[in-house]
Amino acid sequence: MMLRVLLYGYATGVYSSRKIEARTYEDVAFRFLSGDQHPDHDTFAEFRKRHLEALAGLFTPALLLCEKAGLVKLGQVAIDGTKIKANASKHKAMSYGWMTETEARLKQEIEALLAQAEATNAAEDAQYGKGRRGDELPEELQRRESRLKKIEQAKAELEQEAREKAEQERAEAEAKRAARREEEQRTGKKKRGREPQVPDPEQAEPDAKAQRNFTHPESRIMPDGANKGSFLQGYNAQAAVNVGAKWEIRF
């Protein structure tokens, strides 16, 4: 059972033992192959590590059979990581902690500028009379309001990511707790160790150092492999080339 689940997982691009464990609950094909059993990710990882040589010996004949059947083409493939620079400045990125501080500061500045604008309008009304120009918001206020909206949007996206991550961790923890209780009922013995803690997605908060770039939200600050000690705002891509084929870059 372990072998066919791992073989199917690797063949469909699922390499993480944690993701394979989750698929035995969520994916019909994985549930069928596992006989609706749900080994945890440590079991999958240990099985792969223990039988690595045998698995390698199994996958090679399987690929050769697929080649004979015309299902795949075999060749030499070279893969390496490469950094792709984003069309965005790393100075446009801001951490969640700094967003929170900046948001509070901008709100105070906006309130002060609104009060200043109100006082200015009252003075101009007294000087020039009602209906005369001069009632527009100051340009500085417009700029701060625009930046505040961007910060609020970036914060909301980071908070949503934190909730989604907590939701996934809660599903994994609940699955482990269910498996733990099932094993305890089956064996009649209480399992040693602490029971997995189930996080509350509603209470999840982003890490204070989690960043979001205002120009390219999907890009991240990462080490620049071409210039040691420096960083760039970009994407971590995988570049692969086949003999006689063109380069292919995957994110």
Statement to judge: residues 43 and 145 lie in one domain: no
pLDDT value at 110 more than 70: no
Looking at residues 93-115, what average pLDDT do you find?
A: 73
- The verdict on 126 and 186 lying in the same domain is yes
> 26 in a domain, yes or no?
yes
Residue 25 has what pLDDT?
93
User: Are residues 166 and 113 both part of a single domain?
Assistant: yes
User: What confidence tier does 90 reach under pLDDT thresholds 50, 70, 90?
Assistant: low
Could you say which of 41, 74, 107 is where a domain stops?
74
Most confident of 28-37, 100-109, 187-196: 28-37
Residue 84 lies in a domain: no
At 183, the pLDDT band (50, 70, 90 cuts) reads confident
Q: Is residue 220 part of a domain?
A: no
Is 155 domain-assigned?
A: yes
- pLDDT computed for residue 135 by the predictor: 46
In a domain, 83, yes or no: no
**Is residue 140 one of the residues assigned to a domain?**
yes
Range of the domain at 36: 2-74
**Average pLDDT of 167-181?**
83
> Domain check: are 63 and 103 in the same one?
no
Q: How many domains does the chain have?
A: 2
- Global pTM reads 0.34
What average pLDDT does the chain have?
76
The verdict on 119 and 192 lying in the same domain is yes
Taking the alpha carbons at both ends of the chain, their separation in whole angstroms is 32
- 112 and 206 part of one domain: yes
Residue 39: what residue type?
A: P
Residues 127 and 186 in one domain: yes
Q: Are residues 34 and 100 in the same domain?
A: no
- Residue 251's pLDDT band (cuts 50, 70, 90): very low
Please check whether residue 221 lies inside any domain of the structure: no
- 99 and 70 inside one domain: no
Q: How far apart are CA 112 and CA 224, in angstroms?
A: 42
Q: Are residues 22 and 54 in the same domain?
A: yes
Whether the per-residue pLDDT at 180 is higher than 70: the answer is: yes
H helices present in the chain, as ranges: 2-11, 17-26, 28-33, 41-50, 52-68, 96-128, 139-187
| Band (32; pLDDT cuts 50, 70, 90) | very high
40 within a domain of the structure (yes/no): yes
pLDDT at 53 over 70: yes
Dump pLDDT digits (tens) for 124-164: 667 655 655 544 555 656 677 777 777 788 788 888 888 88
For residue 33, is pLDDT > 80? yes
Same domain membership, residue 100 and residue 208: yes
- Please check whether residues 148 and 40 belong to one and the same domain: no
| pLDDT at 29 (0 to 100) | 94
From the centroid of its chain, how far is CA 87?
20
